Structure 1
Amino acid sequence: MHQSGDLAQQPAAARAYRALERMIVILDLAPGSTTTEGALIERLQLGRTPVREAIQRLAWEGLLEVRPRAGIAIAPLRPGDWLRVVEARHGVEVAMARAAARHATHEAGGQFAQAASAMQRAVVSGNVIAFMEADKSLDEAMALAADNAFAARLAAPLQTHSRRFWFRYKADTGLAVAAEHHVAIIRAVLDGDDEGAARQAARLMALLRSHAEAAGRR
């Protein structure tokens, strides 16, 4: 997985995917709602083929469901599922952080720095959507640094599901603490401290687990 870079320079299918993913994460496409391929093409102003490819990918990731002759259903948000997502993420996130600390290149370091700066700006301004974008960029930088395409493909959809839950249940109070945990991982990665990076990734998963457990009690 690569850093998103300038989205306008990406292939149409990648742009369609990123736009639809964002709309799902920030609940612009409401959980449990239905839409149609035509409506999404109209909203995105992209061709049928790239939008269809994006829909198929998001369906495989469990973020929507294509229902023949009944439209496209956006995945519901069940509070108890957040804990399942975090439990599934834990091992792969720790493994990727450890690998990133061992293999991070200068290019990956630059991407980490840009994403961390964007996250800190989002915290200062209280811009939750910008924080979501920065979090996505950090995940992409981690995937690039870890140099393990298998882990990246496993982690990416879980990260998207987790961002969606976080946006729904913690966006009003959790920016600064979440940013602090992410920055701690980045520092360990850039220091080449593989065990420290793994510990910090586990700390972030523990934080998310506490949020998920609280959401499940609501």
Structure 2
Amino acid sequence: MLDLAPGSITTEAQLIERIGLGRTPVREAIQRLAWEGLMEVRPRAGLAIAPLHAGDWLLALDAREGVEMVLARAAARYATPLAIERFQHAAQAMHRAVVASDVAGFLEADKALDEALALAADNRFAARLAAPLQTHSRRFWFRYQRETGLAESAARHVELIQKILAGDEAGAEAEAGRLMALLRSHAQAAVSR
């Protein structure tokens, strides 16, 4: 949620103090964030937080779209009772977030939905491709969209959940495509600002 400003510099020691964890988990997190392109490790210079350029949102969505459709279709086919429960919780959390205009709550629910999607789809390769792209998308959405897109975004996500829970593979795939199209419209608007 951009607690670390895009383009800013921090250090491992500052992160340890800020988060309150030990050196090992912070280093592991730094490695993962660097691998995902969210942070750049600069030896003896610190850690650079990835900048946000609206045009990059479109690139992330280009990479994400097909993977999301694969995950949605598979989730509709293979959803287990545990995954179904997680989808239901994510939908309820999204509803609560919209009612309360709670952007942070929405982003948490969105992450929970992504995790349920990965679990239900049972395709670790697609899930591993999607995860960093989903994280980048949340970051861009938070920076460029926030409250103005909360209800509309939640509605698209809930439609996707409903198609998955109904076992409608083609419908889930199409709904994932519609969700990506909505995000693309937001990204295009951000680029043209």
Q: TM class, shorter-chain normalised?
A: over 0.9
Provide the alpha-carbon RMSD of the alignment.
0.5
Counterpart of 2:119 (choices 144, 149, 165) is 144
Distance in 2 (alpha carbons) for counterparts of 1:126 and 1:61: 29
Q: Secondary structure at the match of 2:147?
A: coil
Residue equivalent to 2:78: 103
Residue equivalent to 2:176: 201
TM-score, reference length from structure 1:
0.88
Residue equivalent to 1:69: 44
Distance in 1 (alpha carbons) for counterparts of 2:111 and 2:137: 11
How far has the Cα of 1:171 moved from its partner?
Answer: 0.2
TM-score, reference length from structure 2:
0.99
Residue equivalent to 1:164: 139
Residue equivalent to 1:183: 158
Residue equivalent to 2:98: 123
Runs of 4+ residues deviating >2 angstroms: none
Residue equivalent to 1:16: none
How far has the Cα of 1:172 moved from its partner?
Answer: 2.5
The answer to whether 1:192 aligns with 2:167 is yes
How far has the Cα of 1:199 moved from its partner?
Answer: 0.3
Residue equivalent to 2:62: 87
Residue equivalent to 1:216: 191
Counterpart of 2:108 (choices 130, 133, 148) is 133
Distance in 2 (alpha carbons) for counterparts of 1:142 and 1:119: 15
Give the counterpart letter for 2:53 in structure 1.
R
Counterpart of 1:50 (choices 25, 28, 31) is 25
Give the counterpart letter for 1:213 in structure 2.
Q
Q: Secondary structure at the match of 1:172?
A: helix
Q: Secondary structure at the match of 2:40?
A: strand
How far has the Cα of 1:115 moved from its partner?
Answer: 1.0
Distance in 1 (alpha carbons) for counterparts of 2:6 and 2:70: 31
How many pairs align? 193
Deviations 1:161-215 (A, max 9, x none): 0000000111020011001100111111111100000000000000011111111
1:2-81 paired onto structure 2 within 5 Å: 26-81=1-56
Distance in 2 (alpha carbons) for counterparts of 1:79 and 1:90: 17
Distance in 1 (alpha carbons) for counterparts of 2:186 and 2:100: 23
Q: Secondary structure at the match of 2:3?
A: coil
Q: Which runs of 5+ in 2 are unaligned?
A: none
Q: Which runs of 5+ in 1 are unaligned?
A: 1-25
